[in-house]
Structure 1
Amino acid sequence: MVTALIAVAGTLLGSIVTHVFQRMTADRTTRQNFADRLRQDRLSAYNAFAASAIEYRHHQIERWHRLRQNPDTEVTARSESYSKKVELRSELVRVKLLTSDPRIQDLADHAIEAIRAIQRSGVAPASPEDHAILMKKANNAIEDFVAQAARDVQAHEQKQLSQRR
């Protein structure tokens, strides 16, 4: 009888311990899968934002040149510019939804403003020298965003690797 009770108690204890370890493993796997998915989503959002920023910057540069050649193209150029800016702002929303890092959000906002400054609607085109300075500022703003986004993605990857060990 005592032997049977010890066997039953051992079986129950073994079942409980197995359940606890399986639950811990499942929880860890769920956390890792979530972190991996979030990292991939951030990488995708950062990439899409940077690509859209580069496209908007290119359009603003092109707009500046068109307006210098023919100021009557302002209405068409402005409409196209707004379209590119809307696409970029859409990507900005995605970035802000996926990161809580205020530095990345600030750099994204700064990039948009730097690009917008290349050719603001209703403002006479700047001199070629001023235009070159504005282009450089926009390029630097995009590069600063990309550098910070890369650090964010890589930091999360390093954290994941250290947790898996």
Structure 2
Amino acid sequence: MDVALIAVAGTLLGVIATHWFQGRATLRTAALTRHEQLRQERITTYSAFAGAVVEYRHSQNDRWFRAVEEPGSEEAEESRHASYRQRTAARQALFRVQLVCDDPDLRRLAEAAFDETHCMHEAVGTADRARRSDRAKDALGRFIAAAAPGLR
């Protein structure tokens, strides 16, 4: 009788231990899966934001050049409207960054990259335009450099 009780107790103890270890392994796997999904979402979101800001910067440069070359022309107006569309795309990408990013410093860097790009069309003179374009490019570079280590 004692042998049977020991066997039953051992079996129950084994089942409980197995259940506990499997539960922990399941939780760990679920956490790793969530972490990897978030990492992939951030990679997609951050790269889409960078692409949108590059396109916005390009459209701001085009807008500036067309406004300087032929103020009020149809091409200048067309370029201005194209920059508005790019601004909307960049702002939407910024919103996605703000939604998936849990680092306030990284969010500030993304906002700075957008803001630096946004004010490019206000440049007065070629040197000012080049300086503003470089500042926008550098701001985006700071965002990418800060985001990259967290994506590895």
Which bracket does the TM-score occupy, shorter chain normalised?
over 0.9
Query: What's the counterpart of residue 104 of structure 1?
Result: 106
Q: How high is the TM-score relative to the length of structure 1?
A: 0.87
Equivalenced residues, count: 150
Counterpart residue identity of residue 57, structure 2: R
C-alpha distance in structure 1 between counterparts of 2:131 and 2:16, whole Å:
68
Listed as ranges, the gaps of 5+ residues in structure 2 are none
C-alpha distance in structure 1 between counterparts of 2:149 and 2:108, whole Å:
15
Equivalent residue runs for 1:8-87 within 5 Å: 8-73=8-73, 74-87=76-89
User: What displacement does 1:147 show?
Assistant: 0.6
Q: How high is the TM-score relative to the length of structure 2?
A: 0.94
User: What displacement does 1:126 show?
Assistant: 1.5
Counterpart residue identity of residue 139, structure 2: A
Listed as ranges, the gaps of 5+ residues in structure 1 are 155-165
How much is the aligned-residue C-alpha RMSD, in angstroms?
1.2
User: What displacement does 1:81 show?
Assistant: 1.2
Deviations 1:86-111 (A, max 9, x none): 11111111111111111111111111
User: What displacement does 1:77 show?
Assistant: 2.5
C-alpha distance in structure 2 between counterparts of 1:85 and 1:25, whole Å:
46
Dislocated runs of 4+, deviation >3 Å = none
Counterpart residue identity of residue 138, structure 2: N
C-alpha distance in structure 1 between counterparts of 2:56 and 2:150, whole Å:
24
